Structure 1
Amino acid sequence: MADVSPPDKVRSARNRTRSNGGKPSGKVADFRYKRPSPSDPSAHRGTALRTGAPATGEPRRQAYAALDLGTNNCRLLIARPSGENFTVIDAFSRVVRLGEGLAHSGRLSDEAMDRALAALHVCADKLRRRNVSLARSVATEACRRAANGADFIDRVREETGIALDIISAQEEARLAVLGCHILLEQGHGPAVIFDIGGGSTELVLIEPGERVPRIIDWASVPWGVVSLTDTVGRAEDDAATRLGRYRQMRMLVSDSFAPFAERIADASRAEDIRLLGTSGTVTTLASLHLELPQYDRRAVDGLIVPAQAMRAISERLSVMDLDERQTLPCIGPDRADLVVAGCAILESILDIWPAERLGVADRGIREGILRSLMAGTPAPPRPAA
């Protein structure tokens, strides 16, 4: 048993609510939101930027936007419908490290909030210039966990006009599946889709459905690349220290995965099991597998990689020092100190779901939000205070 507890030991149990009277949920679309009443003034909280544009009744060619403020990154997509899909007309991504230090302090630091706000001001400017009238902006694990998370959300709205919703881990998992399941390798067996974030990792067990997969089970653990790195520490003095640090990361994550691993054990032994990952970790490792000189989304998004190749890359990175990792293409200084934690999480996932191949998705929550908005399913009203 690991000697360090997750930053929030009870959160995953507290949030593991399911529909259908406690039974596993059905289709991904089971969690789609009810259309809010036009007479309810709170119905579009968190969905529209303060631009004066109406949130409903727009022509089909209106611009939609999805903003995801995570523990490590701030990402924005602005798109217009294009048949059954959409065309991206603007995008933004910046490493903000909102959750830096959160594992020890329990609070968002002033420096981290300032970094995030600077990025959100850029997003607000893009939303206005693109005349976006329907958007959904979400915040995830860092704001869920931080004691001052709600205060930060209020500050963001006051200073930028962006109304962020702190979504549950269940909603985060649903949106990730909705955004990337189309890239799942063809087959009839069960599959796991996972999202390694900055502050948490979501895993979803699914089976094929008519149009969208059916969610059989899911879990969220409070280990992401930032929270795991901050908890274990950044000491990398020599190879032995780096190896011991990596083993501790693996132990912590494996312990947190244990209840989910037990529940999916029978499914993991089925034939034709499949695996799809969406995160900076899997896209970075896929880039190294392809030996790309620089990141190329077109080469990575939808790639199928042998799982053993991803393990080999993870093991190689785990014993490199920080300077060596920084020199590798597609890692650089932004990811060099966090990629090892991502490798530890990925290997732990491969332990409990031993698929021979791993699908790679450079898409997820934002694309899930856009698909929900374009299907006419805006965010639900916030509960009354």
Structure 2
Amino acid sequence: MSAGRVASIDIGTNSTNLLVCDSDGSTLQRIVTITRLGAGVDRTKRLDDDAIARTLSCLREYRSVLDELAVDRVRVTATSATRDASNGVAFLEAVEIATSSVPELLSGIDEARLAHLGAVTSLTVPPGFHLVIDIGGGSTELILGELVAGRPTVVAARSIDAGAVRLTERHFTADPPRPEELTNAIGDTYDLVDDVIREIPDVVRATHFVGTAGTIVTAAAVEMGQRVFDPAALHGFDLERAAVEDVFRTLATEPLADRVHNPGLPRDRADVIVGGLCVLVALMRRLDAPVITVSAHNLMDGVCAELLGAP
């Protein structure tokens, strides 16, 4: 019965995530654990010992889940924090022991491609250029796509060094952040997006925007006032720029002690959500995006789709 089950483990800057799918692509288990592997990496260029310990403990728990579900194939991937860290190779050796699988250190481009494949799953993408935005803890992937023979296809992709954890650590010292700190975080993102536009001019021709991963999903959950996380209600939700600006203004002006009480905002994301929203606000302003469609599917869905034979 379990033959053909596949799984993806994604070791990110802010969270370590598990997705298990049956052979027909249906979800058997999805777990998100905030491990904050990338804490301090922007400053030290090293993975912190405590962060490594938290992440390896989580991975050992995930290995037990894989054994319980008799998963046939698993792909373990690591992204921004591990790419940036001088001790990333040693960490990956420990990951192999914890998971009994050889991990892959994804390039920014591979991360973007898999995020695109996952994000557009079960969403209707209209003709013309579309842009998938995947805001992570350490980086943001921007993937320009279009329909080719009716199938969403990647045209170009770039990874920028702006994410929820990175901008929080780089810019915010006050609680709540001072206006000039917010301005600087948004300005940093503007500069990075302008670099992408110079390299890929067609980015400004995108007429449809899809957002995936924690920051965007959380922004939608806060806008909807979700008291119980409901990914099915979030998937396909159209988040207008005015709503994003409202959520940003609310959360950015509240001290952390108040911010954590907003419905839809997980407590373990509350300290970095404003950094992530700075990225989202900057992108929607700079690209003149009136609305972004939320995808509750992400890089892990892309990995599992490939394991199950997606072209």
TM > 0.5: yes
Does the residue aligned with 2:174 lie in a helix, a strand or coil? coil
Residue type of the partner of 2:225? E
Q: Quote the Cα distance in structure 2 between the aligned partners of 1:269 and 1:66.
A: 33
Q: Quote the Cα distance in structure 2 between the aligned partners of 1:185 and 1:315.
A: 31
Q: Which residue is equivalent to 1:97?
A: 36
Q: Which residue is equivalent to 1:119?
A: 58
**Cα distance, 1:211 vs. partner?**
4.3
Q: Does the 8 A contact of 2:23 with 2:308 survive in 1?
A: yes
Which moved further from structure 2: 122-131 or 107-116? Answer: 122-131
**Cα distance, 1:162 vs. partner?**
3.2
Provide, for residues 251-278 of structure 1, a one-character-per-residue CA deviation record: whole Å limited to 9, x for no partner: 11111111113345555357xx100000
TM-score (norm 2): 0.94
Q: Does the 8 A contact of 1:265 with 1:352 survive in 2?
A: no
Q: Which residue is equivalent to 1:21?
A: none
Provide, for residues 313-362 of structure 1, a one-character-per-residue CA deviation record: whole Å limited to 9, x for no partner: 11222222211211112224311110001110001111232222210011
Q: Which runs of 5+ in 1 are unaligned?
A: 1-58, 378-385
**Cα distance, 1:228 vs. partner?**
1.3
Q: Quote the Cα distance in structure 2 between the aligned partners of 1:132 and 1:267.
A: 39
- What does 1:1-385 correspond to in 2, within 5 Å? 61-82=3-24, 86-184=25-123, 186-236=125-175, 242-265=178-201, 268-269=204-205, 273-375=207-309
Residue type of the partner of 1:258? D
Number of residue equivalences? 311
Larger radius of gyration: 1
Q: Quote the Cα distance in structure 1 between the aligned partners of 2:75 and 2:292.
A: 30
Q: Which runs of 5+ in 2 are unaligned?
A: none
Q: Does the 8 A contact of 1:144 with 1:166 survive in 2?
A: yes
Note the aligned Cα RMSD (angstroms): 2.0
Provide, for residues 143-177 of structure 1, a one-character-per-residue CA deviation record: whole Å limited to 9, x for no partner: 11100001011112234423211111110000000
Q: Does the 8 A contact of 2:225 with 2:264 survive in 1?
A: no
**Cα distance, 1:189 vs. partner?**
2.3
Q: Does the 8 A contact of 2:3 with 2:72 survive in 1?
A: no
Q: Quote the Cα distance in structure 2 between the aligned partners of 1:360 and 1:112.
A: 29
TM-score (norm 1): 0.76
Residue type of the partner of 1:230? E
Identical-residue share of aligned pairs (%)? 29
**Cα distance, 1:109 vs. partner?**
0.6
Residue 309 and residue 369 in structure 1: after superposition, are their counterparts in 2 closer, same or farther (change >3 A)? Answer: same
Q: Does the 8 A contact of 2:9 with 2:16 survive in 1?
A: yes
Provide, for residues 1-20 of structure 1, a one-character-per-residue CA deviation record: whole Å limited to 9, x for no partner: xxxxxxxxxxxxxxxxxxxx
**Cα distance, 1:90 vs. partner?**
2.3
Q: Quote the Cα distance in structure 1 between the aligned partners of 2:122 and 2:190.
A: 26
Q: Which residue is equivalent to 1:381?
A: none
Q: Quote the Cα distance in structure 2 between the aligned partners of 1:266 and 1:103.
A: 30
Q: Does the 8 A contact of 1:185 with 1:274 survive in 2?
A: no
